[in-house]
Amino acid sequence: MKVWKHFCTITRHKYLVMKYCFRVGLYKQGLLHDLSKYSPTEFLVGCKYYQGNRSPNNAEREKKGYSSAWLHHKGRNKHHYEYWIDYGLEPGQGLCGMRMPDRYIYEMFLDRIAASKIYKKEKYTDRSPLEYYRKGMADSFMHPHTKEVLEHLLIMLAEKGEKTTLAYLRKEIWRNKKEHSF
């Protein structure tokens, strides 16, 4: 088990997300981001499956067919669109993505930047979070508004860079201050 390495990785990630959240004005979310990763349910799995270049949840999923740590994590952290999956109101709609409050979409965006930087290290570019997003299957369960806002930010990051995108996000949050107040 790689306890120290896993602890350092999740702590660096949490610090980076916190730094980004503070830069755009999401102070409470920055402080509370990913605290569940330190719970035994998530932390011990992370230590056991630690690799350093990708999420240990993927390794657990490959070995067991599911990730107990991920199931725990997504159910406790509102910045994951999977937290917002529920049954639709229309008959026969089944499971579908519910609209996320914008502040959690913004945190999800910042989380993707930080995760890309942690795992890609020196290979990171401002296109990395968008490329990772496009490899996934998020849009099958993501609410259209959530998808639109997230993709807008990821494309802006890829095309205009981090400084411009974070400045835009900060202005957007403060412009809608009542919606995002805590």
Please compute Rg for the chain using Cα positions: 16
Q: For the chain, give every domain's residue range.
A: 3-180
* pLDDT of the residue at 179: 59
* Per-residue confidence (pLDDT) for residue 149, from 0 to 100: 97
Q: What is the pLDDT of residues 80-96, one digit of tens each?
A: 999 999 999 888 889 99
For 83-139, the pLDDT digits (tens) are 999 999 888 889 999 999 999 999 999 999 999 999 999 999 999 999 999 998 766
pLDDT in tens, 11-55: 999 999 999 999 999 999 999 999 999 999 999 999 999 998 999
Instruction: Catalogue the long-range contacts made by 117-125 (C-beta closer than 8 Å, 24 or more residues apart).
Output: 117/16, 118/9, 118/12, 118/13, 118/16, 119/53, 119/54, 119/55
pLDDT of residue 180: 46
- Average pLDDT in the 61-84 region? 97
Tokens of 79: 């910045």
